[in-house]
Amino acid sequence: MVDSSRSREGPPAQELARALAERISWEREIGASGYRPGTAPAVKAEAAAAGPGGDPEARLRDLREEIGDCTRCPLHAGRNKIVFGEGDAAARLVFVGEGPGRDEDISGLPFVGAAGQLLTKIIEAIGLTREQVFICNIVKCRPPNNRDPEPAESGTCGPFMLRQLEIIRPRVVVALGRPSAQYLLDTDQPIGRLRGMFHDAHGTKIMPTYHPAYLLRNPSGKRAVWEDMKKVRDELGLPGAR
Ligand code: SF4
């Protein structure tokens, strides 16, 4: 049966209104203002389409095929779906979390649960959409009970994420949470000391910040994340940059 509440062009007005209200509420909370998602100029990497090695979309597809039905580390035993990551293969901005959670394990998509919805608001607060960035994790299979990945698991799966970065060649990588920041920066420093500044690593600029799941438990951290994201916005030259 056809859903008559849904127009042929997209989601019904009620859904759009609710999404807009949620985003405005987030912007009010963090003190952001101004830009509508998707109104930022194109954020494709300058040389992306014909960068070294060829078409990044095709190279990401090849990498996904290479990973296959992976059993390289113990995390394969409890997974439903490998969460490869999704987004623009030529994005200038990549988000890296630590690993899939329950909703991601079921759907095979990154950041689709409550933390994912908050990440979407964070992305939209700097004038971008999820489709304009790339989102992935250090490990591609869900750790049991959402624990942090073990060093051996990160050491086995992390290189696939690093190859994704090599292919996409983003200008900025936002490391979401301590395990991601510590892996990308090869350090054991706490996230509170790492966040708020760019670090040069893996041929790009890394901005560590708090994980959206942490913000759900500690809303007072949203202000710090917004400060970090304004630096990312400025580095990318997006509208609102100083
Ligand atoms: Fe393979 Fe990575 Fe999954 Fe481990 S976490 S089984 S290395 S895809």
CATH number of the domain residue 136 falls in: 3.40.470.10
Note whether residue 241 is domain-resident: no
State which ligand 1 atom lies nearest to the alpha carbon of 76.
6
- Closest C-alpha residue for ligand 1 atom 6: 76
Q: Is the pLDDT of residue 178 over 50?
A: yes
The average pLDDT across 20-32 equals 57
Structure tokens at 24: 């405005």
Helix, strand or coil, per DSSP, at residue 148? coil
Note whether residue 2 is domain-resident: no
- pLDDT tens digits along 28-51: 665 555 444 455 544 444 444 456
In terms of Cα–Cα distance, which of 208, 193, 4, 199 is closest to 98? 208
Site to substitute for ligand 1 among 63, 75, 160, most atoms within 8 A of C-beta: 75
Q: How confident is the model at residue 53 (pLDDT cuts 50, 70, 90)?
A: confident
- Domain count of the chain? 1
Domain span including residue 189: 56-236
Note whether residue 1 is domain-resident: no
Note whether residue 24 is domain-resident: no
Note whether residue 158 is domain-resident: yes
Note whether residue 46 is domain-resident: no
Using a pLDDT cut of 70, give the percent of the chain over it: 78
Whole-number Å distance between alpha carbons of 170 and 44 = 9
Note whether residue 115 is domain-resident: yes
For residues 166, 97, 157 and 100, what is the CA-based torsion angle, rounded to 10 degrees? -130
- Closest C-alpha residue for ligand 1 atom 3: 141
